């Protein structure tokens, strides 16, 4: 992999934004969030993990799958202009990689995904609630998940690592200085130092082991689920959650438009924590009890059963569920309870 020393992040942002819409996480009012179509003067890279991941760039929160005009059905695959997600942290890149597998055959997801250039950024400090180091998702960006990788060096300089052909092509025309061995070694030193700064989260692998040994009772999950108010905060913010529902909607006609739509099917984010998520047309519900739904969520994140399909667990260690759950059913709370009580 080619590696360069970048003296100005602005140069790279300006270069990439010539041919793509640039999206970046920015800090504002103590919060950090994805800002669309960032333009010069370009903001610095945020050091914080945004509350919302990059999931919705590819798996839209709501989108029309097809329309029916009274005569024909027509697919409505949305293909955005080429865009770059600039400065995606390693955990969220791993989540995109996970979703790429889940949505491999999904043309709606793929139409968006194929237009994206992913510029990852290594984390040099652990984030609050983060445990990417325990689930092979960080703090350094994994090569298989990004087109370009940035790593902060001294004096506002950056190490720029070219991972894919798309990343290489995107840099054409930008004058770059090859990185020295010292620059490259500094990256590994910084990442090692970062790994050493994580708090002791050993209850997480212990909890995963108990869960996979079948040592967590249904009664335990019922107790945990008493605190779930089915708000869907966890499934909305979890970057690997991919459950969706579809709905057919009638659309009022506009007489001036000969091809006016009469009906459409819409896909929207759903949540396995909702009582009706698995309810069938016969009203049979395989997950009628809240405990069954909570159990299902956590098995989807940590069961060994999914390793053959995804090559990893369905959790990338971001800690967003802990941050958002009003019922204290985030990953840290659940794993501590599994180790202690289950």
Binding residues for ligand SF4, rule: CB under 6 A, are 228-234, 237-240, 273, 301, 315-321, 324-327, 329, 331
Pick between residue 140 and residue 330 the one whose CB is nearest to ligand SF4: 330
- Distance CA(160)–CA(163), nearest Å, equals 10
Residue 118 exposed, middle or buried by CB count within 10 Å (0-12, 13-18, 19+): buried
Min. distance of Cβ 99 from ligand SF4 in angstroms? 11
Q: How far is the CB of 209 from ligand SF4 (least distance, A)?
A: 17
Residue 174 C-beta: closest distance to ligand SF4, Å: 34
- Looking at residue 227, the DSSP 8-state letter turns out to be T
Q: What is the distance of C-alpha 39 from the center of its chain?
A: 24
Tokens of 181: 């061995």
Whole-angstrom distance, CA of residue 152 vs CA of residue 160: 9
Cβ proximity to ligand SF4, 38 vs 273, nearer residue: 273
> Residue 87: which region, alpha, beta or left (left: phi > 0; alpha: psi -120 to 50)?
left
Indicate the residue among 92 and 183 with the shorter CB distance to ligand SF4. Answer: 92
Strand partners, 273: none
Question: Residue 12 or 316: which CB sits closer to ligand SF4?
Answer: 316
With respect to ligand SF4, which residue has the nearer C-beta, 127 or 321? 321
Neighbours of 114 (CB within 10 A): 12
CA 239 to chain centre: 3
Cβ 262 to ligand SF4 shortest distance, Å:
36
Candidates 107, 101, 105; CA nearest to 65 is 107
CB 61 within 8 Å of CB 78: no
Choice between 112 and 320, CB closer to ligand SF4? 320
* Token pair recorded at residue 5: 């020393």
Q: Return the SS3 of 319.
A: coil
Nearer CB in complex with ligand SF4: 139/152 = 139
Q: Which is closer to ligand SF4, CB of 254 or CB of 304?
A: 304
Query: Are 243 and 271 within 8 A, CB to CB?
Result: yes
From CA 120, how far away is CA 95, in angstroms rounded? 12
Shortest distance, CB of residue 331 to ligand SF4, whole angstroms?
A: 4
């Amino acid at each position: 992999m080619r590696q360069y020393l970048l003296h100005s992040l602005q140069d790279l942002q300006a270069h990439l934004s010539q041919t793509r819409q640039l999206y970046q996480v920015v800090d504002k009012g103590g919060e950090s969030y994805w800002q669309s179509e960032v333009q010069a003067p370009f903001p610095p890279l945020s050091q914080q993990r945004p509350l919302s991941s990059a999931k919705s760039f590819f798996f839209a929160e709501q989108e029309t799958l097809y329309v029916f005009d009274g005569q024909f059905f027509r697919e409505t695959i949305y293909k955005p202009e080429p865009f770059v997600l600039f400065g995606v942290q390693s955990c969220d890149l791993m989540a995109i990689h996970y979703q790429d597998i889940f949505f491999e055959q999904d043309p709606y997801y793929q139409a968006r995904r194929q237009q994206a250039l992913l510029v990852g950024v290594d984390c040099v400090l652990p984030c609050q609630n983060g445990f990417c180091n325990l689930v092979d998702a960080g703090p350094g960006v994994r090569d298989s998940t990004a087109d370009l990788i940035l790593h902060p060096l001294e004096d506002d300089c950056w190490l720029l690592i070219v991972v894919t052909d798309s990343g290489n092509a995107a840099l054409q025309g930008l004058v770059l200085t090859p990185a020295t061995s010292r620059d490259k070694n500094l990256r590994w030193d910084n990442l090692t130092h970062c790994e050493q700064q994580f708090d002791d989260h050993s209850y997480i692998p212990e909890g995963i082991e108990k869960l996979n040994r079948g040592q967590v009772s249904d009664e335990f999950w019922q107790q945990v689920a008493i605190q779930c108010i089915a708000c869907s905060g966890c499934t909305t913010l979890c970057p690997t959650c991919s459950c969706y529902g579809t709905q057919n909607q009638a659309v009022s006609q506009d007489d001036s438009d000969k091809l006016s739509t009469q009906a459409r099917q819409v896909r929207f984010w759903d949540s396995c924590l909702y009582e009706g998520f698995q309810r069938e047309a016969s009203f049979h519900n395989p997950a009628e009890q809240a405990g069954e739904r909570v159990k299902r969520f956590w098995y989807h994140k940590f069961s060994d059963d999914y390793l053959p399909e995804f090559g990893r667990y369905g959790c990338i260690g971001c800690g967003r569920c802990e941050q958002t759950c009003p019922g204290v059913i985030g990953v840290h709370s659940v794993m501590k309870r599994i180790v202690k009580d289950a």
